[in-house]
Structure 1
Amino acid sequence: MLTAERTGFWRSRYTLLLDGAQVTTWDSSVWRSGGSFTLQDQTFSVRANGWGTKYTMTDGSGAVVAEAAKVNRKNWTVAAGGRTFDFQRTSVWRNDQQMLHNGMPVGTIRKTSSWTGNLEADLPGLDLPVQIFVLGVLIAVAEAAAAAAAA
C-alpha cells in the first residue's frame, strides 16, 4: 500500500510511504500544476497542460515516462510502459478512484483525511514511479481545485 502524508502546512509537500517505509517526498510545484520527486537517485517531474486535463511525467533526461489523460473527468487513463491503465471516480460526492481492468476494479485510491489531503493507494501491476505519478496527479488536481475555490 502506497500512502501520501502531507508534511507541510504552508507549502504542499507529501511524504510517500510504501508499506510504512518512506520511499520519497512529493514536492508540489509553486507556479505550475504538478510537482517532482526523487526515487533511487532519479528525479522525476510532473507537469500539466494549460487546462489541467493532461499530465506528463518525465525523467531527468526529459524522456516521457507516463502520461495521464482526461484528468478531472469521471473516467481517465494513464499510459506508461506501453500499457494503458483505466481509472474511474467512484462517486460524484467523493474523490475516491478505482483502477479498472476490463471494466472490473483491481485497485483503489482514497483520501484518508479531508483536512490534510492524505491519500492511500493500492495499485497492483503499476511500477512504483507510476504509482507515485498517479498520486501526484491527484494531489495536483486537489490543489488546483482548492486554489480555484479560494480565488
Structure 2
Amino acid sequence: MLHAKKPSIWKNHYEISVDGRQVTSWDPSWWKSGGTFRLAGRLYEVSGNVWGTKYTMATEGGTVVASADRVGRKRWTVTADGKTYEFRRASMFRYEEELHVDGRRIGSVKRPSMWSSDTVVDLPGLPVQTQIFVLGVVLTKWASAAAASTASHSSFTG
C-alpha cells in the first residue's frame, strides 16, 4: 500500500511511502498535465493531453511504459506491462477511484479525509511504478477539477 502526503500546505509535491518508508516524490508539472517521479534510480515522466483525458508514462529515454485513457469519465483504463486495468469513479462527491477486476472492486486510490490532501493507494497486483503512475494521474485529475471549480466559482462571485 502506498501513502502520498504533502510535506506542507506550501509545497506542491507529494512524498510517497510504502509501508512507512519513503520511496519517491511526485512532482507535478506547473505548465502541463502530469509530473515526474524517480523510482529505483529511474526517472519517469507522466504527461497528459490538453484535455486531461489521456496520459502516458515514459522512461528517461522516452519509452512509453504505461498509458491511461478516458480519464475523468466514470470508467477509465490503465494499460501497463501488457495488461489493462479498469478504474471507476466511486462517487462525484468523494475523492476516490476504484480498481475493478471482473466486475469486483479490488482496490482504490482515495483521500481518507476531505480535510486533507493525504492519499492512500491500495492497488494489489500492480507493480509499484504503475501504482505511482495511477496516483499521479488521479492527483492531476483532482487538482484540475479543483482549479476548474475555483475558477467557475470566482467567475460567478465577482
| Range class of TM-score, shorter chain | over 0.9
AA in 2 matched with 1:71: V
Q: Does 1:135 align with 2:131?
A: no
Distance in structure 2 (CA, Å) of the matches to 1:18 and 1:132? 11
Q: How does 1:1-151 map to 2 (within 5 A)?
A: 1-151=1-151
Deviation per residue, 1:7-46 (Å, 9 max, x gap): 2434410000101110000001011111100001100000
Q: CA RMSD in A?
A: 1.2
Distance in structure 2 (CA, Å) of the matches to 1:29 and 1:61? 19
Identity %: 44
Distance in structure 1 (CA, Å) of the matches to 2:35 and 2:11? 12
AA in 2 matched with 1:37: F
Deviation per residue, 1:57-106 (Å, 9 max, x gap): 10111000110111111111000001000011112321312111111111
Distance in structure 2 (CA, Å) of the matches to 1:25 and 1:101? 28
Bigger shift: residues 119-128 or 104-113: 104-113
Q: CA deviation at 1:141?
A: 0.7
Distance in structure 1 (CA, Å) of the matches to 2:102 and 2:49? 28
AA in 2 matched with 1:2: L
Counterpart in 1 of 2:156?
A: none
Q: CA deviation at 1:112?
A: 2.3
Give the secondary-structure state (helix, strand or coil) at the position aligned to 1:79: strand
Indicate conservation of the 8 Å contact 1:8/1:14, yes or no.
no
Gaps of 5+ in 2: 152-158
Gaps of 5+ in 1: none
TM-score between the two structures when normalised by the length of structure 2: 0.90
Q: Which has the larger radius of gyration?
A: 2
Q: How many correspondences in the alignment?
A: 151
TM-score between the two structures when normalised by the length of structure 1: 0.94
